[in-house]
C-alpha cells in the first residue's frame, strides 16, 4: 500500500534523510525508533509534505483503489485527502478558530473529495461529540480555539481526535506519547487501537518502548543518521530499551 524507496531529503541544504526504505501494508503497525536527530520527525514531515524540506532523491509510492500514485508530486492537502495523516509532535495553536469549525472544514474536504454530501454544523457537532467520547475529551473543546491553552496531553488527544474524524489509511504518529502522563497515554493508546482496521496502517514514531506495550507493533525499525538501520519484530523495541542504540550503529 505504501512504499518508500531511497528517500533523501534536506532542509536548508543540510541532508537529513539519506536513503530511507520502508514498506507498509494494510493492517500493519510499524514503530520507528532512533536517537535524537536521526531523521524520524523529518521522515514524517516529508511524507506529509512540509514545504521546508526538499526531496532530492527517491520515491514515495502510495496505492489507493488499485492505483499507484507518487505522493511526492502532490500538495500537502491532496495527500491528506487521499488518506495520509500525521499526528504532530508539537500540535500548532490556532487562535480565533474554534475546534469544531476547523474539524468540520477538514472533514467536509474529505466528503467533497469522496463525492459525499457535506455535513452541516449541527450534525457535525453530534458526530464530533461521539468521537470525543472515544478519547475521554470534554465537550467544551468544541468551542475552544484549536489547541490554544490546551495542556500537553489535551493537544495530543486532539491529534488523535482528528485522526478519528478524518479516518486516514496511513497514520503517522510523531511522538504522540511524549509529554503524556500514564493515564493520558492509556487513553490515547486505547483511542488509536480502536481506530485500527484491516484496511489502514499506522506508523508510530517514538523514543519509548512504553507506548508499544499499549499499541503492539508488527515491525520495529531503528533509524540512524537518515537511514533505517535495523528492522525486526516487536522484540527489537525491548532490546533497544535494554541496550540503547550503540550496538546498532
Q: List interacting residues with another protein (CB under 8 A).
A: 48-52, 75-77, 80-81, 85-86, 88, 91-92, 94-97, 101-103, 105-106, 109-110, 113, 145, 162, 166
Choose between 172 and 236: whose C-beta lies nearer to another protein.
172
Least distance from C-beta 94 to another protein, angstroms?
6
Choose between 203 and 220: whose C-beta lies nearer to another protein.
203
Interatomic CA distance for residues 97 and 223, integer angstroms: 37
Buried (b) or exposed (e) across 228-249, using 16+ Cβ within 10 A?
bebeeebebbebbeeeebeebe
Choose between 105 and 249: whose C-beta lies nearer to another protein.
105
Torsion of CA 194, 27, 69, 166, to 10 degrees: 0
Choose between 107 and 219: whose C-beta lies nearer to another protein.
107
Choose between 51 and 115: whose C-beta lies nearer to another protein.
51
Q: Would you mind telling me the total number of residues written for the chain in this entry?
A: 249
User: 27, exposed or middle or buried, with CB in 10 Å at 0-12, 13-18, 19+?
Assistant: middle
> DSSP assignment of 51-91, as one string?
TTEEEEEEEEEEEETTEEEEGGGS-HHHHHHTTEEEE-SSP
Least distance from C-beta 83 to another protein, angstroms?
10
212 contacts 239 by C-beta, under 8 angstroms: no
Q: Which residue has the cell 524507496?
A: 5
Interatomic CA distance for residues 10 and 224, integer angstroms: 15
Choose between 85 and 219: whose C-beta lies nearer to another protein.
85
Amino acid at each position: 500500500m505504501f512504499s518508500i524507496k531511497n528517500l533523501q531529503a534536506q532542509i536548508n541544504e543540510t541532508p537529513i534523510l539519506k536513503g530511507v526504505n520502508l514498506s507498509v501494508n494494510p493492517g500493519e503497525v510499524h514503530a520507528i525508533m532512533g536517537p535524537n536527530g536521526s531523521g524520524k520527525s523529518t521522515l514524517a514531515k516529508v511524507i506529509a509534505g512540509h514545504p521546508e524540506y526538499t526531496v532530492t532523491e527517491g520515491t514515495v509510492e502510495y496505492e489507493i483503489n488499485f492505483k499507484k500514485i507518487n505522493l511526492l508530486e502532490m500538495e500537502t492537502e491532496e495527500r491528506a485527502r487521499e488518506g495520509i495523516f500525521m499526528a504532530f509532535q508539537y500540535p500548532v495553536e490556532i487562535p480565533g478558530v474554534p475546534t469544531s469549525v476547523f474539524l468540520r472544514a477538514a472533514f467536509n474536504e474529505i466528503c467533497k473529495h469522496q463525492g459525499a454530501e457535506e455535513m452541516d454544523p449541527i450534525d457535525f457537532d453530534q458526530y464530533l461529540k461521539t468521537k470525543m467520547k472515544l478519547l475521554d475529551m470534554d465537550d467544551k473543546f468544541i468551542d475552544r480555539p484549536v489547541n490554544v491553552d490546551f495542556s500537553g496531553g489535551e493537544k495530543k488527544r486532539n491529534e488523535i481526535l482528528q485522526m478519528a474524524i478524518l479516518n486516514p489509511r496511513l497514520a503517522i504518529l510523531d511522538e504522540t506519547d511524549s509529554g503524556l502522563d500514564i493515564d493520558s497515554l492509556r487513553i490515547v493508546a486505547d483511542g488509536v487501537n480502536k481506530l485500527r482496521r484491516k484496511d489502514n496502517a499506522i506508523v508510530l514514531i517514538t523514543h519509548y518502548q512504553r507506548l508499544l506495550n499499549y499499541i503492539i507493533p508488527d515491525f520495529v525499525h531503528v533509524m540512524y543518521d537518515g537511514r533505517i538501520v535495523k528492522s525486526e519484530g516487536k522484540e527489537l523495541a525491548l532490546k533497544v530499551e535494554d541496550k540503547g542504540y550503540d550496538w546498532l550503529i
